[in-house]
Amino acid sequence: MKRTIFFSAMLIMLVIVSGCRQTAESQLQDVSSKVLVSGKKPKNIIFMIGDGMGISQVYAGMTANKGHLNLEKCAYTGLQKTFSASDYITDSAASGTAMASGTKTKNGILGKDTTGKDVKTILEYARDHGLATGLVATSAITHATPASFIAHVKSRNQYEDIARFFIRHGPDVFIGGGRDNFASRKDGENLLDSLKAQGYRVIFSMDSIEQVKHGKLAGLTAPVHNPPMTEGRGNMLPEATATALNILSNDPDGFFIMIEGSQIDWGGHANDQKYVITEMLDFDNAVKQALDFAEKDGNTLVVITADHETGGMALNGGNLKTGKVEAAFTTKGHTAVMVPVFAYGPGAENFTGIYDNTDIFRKFMALYGFSATD
Ligand SMILES: [Zn+2]
């Protein structure tokens, strides 16, 4: 008798599990929407990703900052769906690939579709059209989110293979951690020499990186990841953002850059509200740099979003006068909820409404006037 109940329970669970899988797969069929954009077109796009930044993370930062964040300057807001081709809950590799290339893929895969075929990213389209390109992150620059814009690998863990794509594609500027993936490799190769041979200035300290005004820059500020804000990262992200934008703005054809606040996600994984809030505020300081640049420039679109929410964070209390936050978490992992999109500048009005994460790529393509056959 007990056995029968056990097997029935197992059967029901199997049905539920395969049912969920089917839902994600079948939703996959109807995400290829036609994106038509209206209004003024930008020359430059600054795409900012707060990894793991759901509405609660944003509002926790807002509360800690006594009621306001720089990203509130964005008059246009929307929501995007984040599910991947394999899972209801995405990881950063699949959602990064979705936003970078307009293609849903399985969790763990970077820059390839579910069959293993390479998919071209917005950064690659921009480069092929003569625009300057850049990547900035507080994690290793070879980590899933920045890597999804440049690498094409079966697993996000292939860090040393991912580093090679920086040589192959040659973005004008990249600043982040991950020096070991270039310099202390299992194959003994020193990719820093290859970068130098390609005309890059290879620099390890933020003080020197900040002095760079033009040319190709590889800023590798940590052996692996940069430390959290709570362990003294300082203004690395806002400074890297300002430096990269200044260099890229030299290109008369325009630019595309992706800037990631990588560690909001890690605060969520740790269920550590102080970690989340300090990273959120740091990311918002980088947002200020981007918005200041865009305001002065007039031809720059800034789009700020997340790849997914992390921690199932909720705010059960707080105080806007004192900045006190009472957060709770439902999981150590990611969640499935839609994440916010904030937009500023020419073309920003196209980011209102509810849409799929793959549409972000399509909107960028249409705003630049690129066609997928180019
Ligand atoms: Zn995560």
Q: What is the pLDDT of residues 291-302, one digit of tens each?
A: 999 999 999 999
Separation CA 168–CA 202 (nearest Å): 16
Task: Quote the ligand 1 centre to 56 CA distance (angstroms).
Answer: 16
Would you tell me the crossing angle of helices 236-248 and 273-297 to the nearest 10 degrees?
20
Does any domain span residue 238? yes
Question: What per-residue confidence (pLDDT) applies to 17?
Answer: 42
Task: Quote the ligand 1 centre to 221 CA distance (angstroms).
Answer: 22
Task: Quote the ligand 1 centre to 144 CA distance (angstroms).
Answer: 10
Q: Single out the catalytic residue among 56, 84, 92, 249.
A: 92
Does any domain span residue 4? no
Does any domain span residue 11? no
Task: Quote the ligand 1 centre to 367 CA distance (angstroms).
Answer: 30
What is the rounded (10 degree) CA torsion for 8, 13, 14, 20?
150
Question: What per-residue confidence (pLDDT) applies to 23?
Answer: 45
Task: Quote the ligand 1 centre to 92 CA distance (angstroms).
Answer: 6
Question: What per-residue confidence (pLDDT) applies to 38?
Answer: 74
Question: What per-residue confidence (pLDDT) applies to 372?
Answer: 83
DSSP letters for 180-206: HHHHS-TT---HHHHHHHTTEEEE--H
- For the stretch 335-357, pLDDT in tens is 999 999 999 999 999 999 999 99
Task: Quote the ligand 1 centre to 90 CA distance (angstroms).
Answer: 9
Would you tell me the crossing angle of helices 358-368 and 92-101 to the nearest 10 degrees?
30
Task: Quote the ligand 1 centre to 96 CA distance (angstroms).
Answer: 12
Each residue's pLDDT, cut to its tens digit, for the chain (374 residues) gives 445 555 555 544 444 444 344 444 444 544 556 667 777 899 999 999 999 999 999 999 999 999 999 999 999 999 999 999 999 999 999 999 999 999 999 999 999 999 999 999 999 999 999 999 999 999 999 999 999 999 999 999 999 999 999 999 999 999 999 999 999 999 999 999 999 999 999 999 999 999 999 999 999 999 999 999 999 999 999 999 999 999 999 999 999 999 999 999 999 999 999 999 999 999 999 999 999 999 999 999 999 999 999 999 999 999 999 999 999 999 999 999 999 999 999 999 999 999 999 999 999 999 999 988 76
Does any domain span residue 1? no
Question: What per-residue confidence (pLDDT) applies to 373?
Answer: 73
Question: What per-residue confidence (pLDDT) applies to 21?
Answer: 43
In order of 48, 146, 199, 211, 356, the CA distances from 30 in angstroms are 26, 27, 44, 48, 10
Does any domain span residue 119? yes
Does any domain span residue 68? yes
Does any domain span residue 264? yes
Q: Is 8 a catalytic residue?
A: no
Task: Quote the ligand 1 centre to 336 CA distance (angstroms).
Answer: 12
Ion ligand 1: residues, CB < 5 A: 265
CATH number at residue 116: 3.40.720.10
Does any domain span residue 26? no
Q: Closest by alpha carbon to 216, among 203, 206, 227, 205?
A: 203
Task: Quote the ligand 1 centre to 335 CA distance (angstroms).
Answer: 10
Task: Quote the ligand 1 centre to 201 CA distance (angstroms).
Answer: 31
Domain count, the chain: 1
Q: Is-contact 364 345, C-beta < 8 A?
A: no
Question: What per-residue confidence (pLDDT) applies to 19?
Answer: 39
The number of residues making up the chain comes to: 374
Domain that holds residue 138: 46-368
Which amino acid is residue 70, in one-letter code? N
